[in-house]
């Protein structure tokens, strides 16, 4: 990870060829642009951001893809942002601090709600909003995952995106959706595919205690819930990895911004045919995005369950792209040998479990996966037999 200011390559050639209006807008905001595989969002350098009347920075990643991006807002003690509105969708995850948000609704009313650390909330599309720091002592820092690249590159007109008067009353939802209430929507997806549990709301006050539901297809004891926030086309889900276990590897489209919520561990990433893993350690405040079609796998190494939040384009209601539709239908937790995108435990490279066992020895946490792996045998495999391309089964059937 790097906290140095980095600008992405300008290839617009004088504005006549290969223009990227989103990156042009980013450059014009005059705040730090951090570009890396992932970031510790709690430590990134920020600077005064005139548009928000607060501090901020762009937290770009190599795997953000064409449609999604992230920026960080920092509101000083006792401070507030300027009123804002925009045509891009945005999810806000509270990294540190307590505060409140006021939203000007399409009917002219104002709605305010409070939040604390590790809250998740969404602003209904093109509603004006303002963020307040509720503490006079500590700054508030918020991660904002958004589809500004999609919106600005589609319209390539900043005034249209930030000063558009059009209203979307259907995006607001029920009044109590801003107060942490919502509706559970269970979805049956078909034979052999786990039920999908969707929570529709605008605000989740604390992701660490929010109820999750069994999703054993991703690993024994794995829990999950998907969110539909402000009736949007962006997706979010929260998952939990049990103590002494880890999740199965999978791959998907670019742009999924993964935030560690609690616990500690790491993720391994690799492309099919590679011999080395990319490792990204995480704890609360860390965020990264797996690049397109790169296998990745999440490992808990601490002495309690670990949760994370993933935000991407294509909600369960409005999938937007075909890969997101296949995920909603269950393709994301179906073996690649059955046409899905998941690597089952019995098919994974033995280096993966061995590396995790070694990490668990360091933290002193006992593995609870002896029911799946012959762990003694794995630890005795000669190093020479753990070289070469990472073992990944070939896909059988249509790619999903």
Q: For 10-21, what is the mean pLDDT?
A: 72
- Could you tell me the two tokens for 57? 């920075």
pLDDT band for 398, please (50, 70, 90 cuts): low
Looking at residue 246, the DSSP 8-state letter turns out to be B
Given a cut of 50, whether residue 59 has pLDDT beyond it is yes
Whole-number pLDDT of residue 169: 97
What pLDDT shows up at residue 329? 78
Cβ–Cβ under 8 Å, residues 86 and 157: no
Give the least confident one: 73-82, 158-167, 319-328, 390-399: 390-399
Question: What are the tokens at 319?
Answer: 């999938």
Look at the alpha carbons of 196, 201, 203, 205 in this order and tell me if their dihedral is positive or negative.
negative
Beta bridge pairs of residue 268: 279, 297
- Is 9 in a helix, a strand, or coil? coil
In this predicted structure, what is the pLDDT of residue 6? 47
Is the pLDDT at 3 greater than 70? The verdict is no
- Which token pair is 377? 């045998």
Q: For residue 258, what pLDDT is reported? A: 98
Query: Residue 14 corresponds to which tokens in the numbers above?
Result: 């004088």
Average pLDDT of the residues in 236-245: 97
Q: For residue 189, what pLDDT is reported?
A: 72
pLDDT digits (tens, 9 = 90+) for 152-167: 999 999 999 999 999 9
Q: Is the pLDDT of residue 2 over 60?
A: no
As beta bridge partners, residue 200 has 183, 228
Q: What is the mean pLDDT of the chain?
A: 93
Rounded Cα distance, 123 and 173, in Å: 11
* Structural contact between residues 291 and 216, judged by C-beta atoms closer than 8 angstroms: no
**Which range among 3-7, 98-102, 331-335 has the greatest average pLDDT?**
98-102
- DSSP conformation class of 336: G
DSSP 14: T
* Per-residue buried b or exposed e for 375-388, using 16+ beta carbons within 10 Å of the residue's own CB: eeebeeeeeeeeee
pLDDT tens, position by position, 24-57:
999 999 999 999 999 999 999 999 999 999 999 9
pLDDT attached to residue 5 = 47
Burial 227-252 (b: 16+ CB within 10 A, else e): bbbbbbbbbbbbbbbbbbbbbbbbbb
- How do residues 193-226 score in pLDDT, each as one tens digit? 677 899 999 999 999 999 999 988 889 999 999 9
Q: Which of 64, 62, 132 is nearest to 92 (CA)?
A: 132
Instruction: Give the distance, in angstroms, between the CA of residue 50 and the centroid of all CA atoms in the same chain.
Output: 26
Reported as a pLDDT band with limits 50, 70 and 90, residue 392 is: confident
Average pLDDT of the residues in 382-391: 91
pTM above 0.85, yes or no: yes
| Burial profile 112-132: b = 16 or more Cβ within 10 angstroms, e = fewer | ebbbebbbbbbbbbbbebbbb
CA distance 224 to 210: 10
Domains of the chain (ranges, CATH numbers): 21-168 (2.60.120.10), 178-345 (2.60.120.10)
Taking the CA atoms of the chain, what radius of gyration do you get in angstroms? Answer: 21
Q: Is the pLDDT of residue 323 over 90?
A: no
Joined tokens for residue 223: 């829990």
Task: Using a pLDDT cut of 70, give the percent of the chain over it.
Answer: 94
Could you report the per-residue pLDDT of 274-305, keeping only the tens digit for each? 999 999 999 999 999 999 999 999 999 999 99
């Amino acid at each position: 990870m790097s906290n140095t200011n980095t600008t992405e390559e300008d290839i617009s050639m004088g504005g006549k060829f290969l223009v990227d209006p989103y990156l042009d807008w980013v450059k014009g905001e005059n705040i730090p642009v951090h570009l890396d595989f992932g970031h510790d969002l709690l430590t990134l350098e920020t600077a005064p951001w005139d548009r928000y009347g607060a501090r901020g920075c762009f937290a770009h990643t190599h795997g953000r893809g064409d449609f999604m991006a992230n920026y960080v807002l920092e509101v000083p003690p006792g401070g507030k942002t300027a009123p804002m509105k925009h045509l891009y969708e945005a999810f806000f995850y509270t990294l540190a601090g307590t505060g409140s948000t006021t939203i000007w609704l399409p009917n002219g009313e104002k709605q305010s709600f409070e939040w604390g650390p590790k809250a998740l909330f969404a602003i209904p599309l093109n509603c004006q909003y303002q963020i307040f720091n509720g503490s006079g002592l500590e700054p508030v820092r918020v991660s904002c995952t958004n589809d500004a690249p999609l919106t600005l590159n589609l319209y390539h007109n900043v005034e249209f995106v930030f000063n558009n008067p059009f209203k979307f009353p259907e995006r607001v939802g029920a009044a109590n959706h801003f107060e942490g209430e919502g509706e559970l929507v269970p979805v049956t997806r078909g034979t052999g595919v786990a039920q999908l549990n969707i929570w529709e709301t605008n605000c989740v006050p604390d992701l660490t205690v929010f109820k999750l539901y069994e999703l054993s297809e991703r690993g024994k004891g794995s829990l999950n819930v998907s969110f539909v926030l402000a009736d949007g086309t962006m997706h979010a889900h929260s998952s939990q990895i049990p103590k002494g276990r880890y999740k199965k590897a999978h791959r998907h489209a670019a742009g999924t911004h993964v935030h560690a919520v609690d616990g500690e561990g790491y993720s391994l990433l690799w492309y099919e045919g590679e011999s080395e893993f990319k490792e990204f350690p995480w704890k609360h405040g860390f965020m990264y995005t797996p690049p397109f079609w790169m296998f990745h796998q999440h490992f808990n190494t601490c002495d309690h369950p670990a949760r994370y939040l993933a935000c991407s384009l294509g909600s369960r209601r409005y999938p937007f792209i075909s890969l997101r539709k296949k995920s909603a239908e269950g393709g994301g937790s179906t073996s690649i040998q059955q046409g899905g995108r998941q690597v089952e435990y019995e098919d994974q490279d033995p280096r993966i479990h061995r590396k995790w066992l070694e990490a668990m020895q360091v933290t002193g946490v006992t593995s609870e996966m002896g029911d799946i792996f012959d762990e003694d045998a794995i630890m005795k495999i000669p190093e020479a037999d753990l070289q070469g391309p990472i073992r990944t089964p070939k896909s059988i059937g249509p790619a999903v």
